Amino acid sequence: MKLIINGNEEHHEVEHLAELLERLEHTASSVATAVNGAFVPASQRAAHRLKEDDVVEILAPMQGG
């Protein structure tokens, strides 16, 4: 399915958000996720089903002022 991941169009055959993170090699990292502008806690990623054209944001700790 087509997904917009961090602003980029990508195609992945996955069912749930947790599976997508694993596919993108985020499993061991500290990230926060949102789908279509809504925060998806880590505890809900395995149950969060993705669908075509979902907008996924994967955020990590970064420098900030």
Partner 1 sequence: MQIAGVELQSRLWLGTARYPSPAILADSIRAARTDLVTVSLRRESGRDRAGQDFWAMIRALPVKVLPNTAGCYSVKEAVTTAHMAREVFGTPWIKLEVIRDPDTLFPDVFALTEAARILCEEGFVVFPYTTPDLSVAERLLDAGCPLLMPLGAPIGSGMGLNDPFALRTLRARFPEVALVVDAGIGRPSHAAAALEMGYDAVLLNTAVALAGDPVAMAGAFADAVQAGRTAYTAEPMPVRDMAAASTPMLGKAWLE
Chain residues that interact with partner 1, rule: CB under 8 A: 6-7, 21, 24-26, 29-34, 37-39, 41-42, 57-65
| In the complex, minimum distance from the CB of residue 51 to partner 1, in angstroms, rounded to a whole number | 20
- Our CB check for partner 1 shows the closer of 52 and 65 to be 65
CA atoms within 13 A on the CB side of 10: 14
| In the complex, minimum distance from the CB of residue 57 to partner 1, in angstroms, rounded to a whole number | 7
Stated length of the chain? 65
Residue 55 makes CB contacts below 8 A (sequence gap 6+) with 3, 4, 35, 36, 37
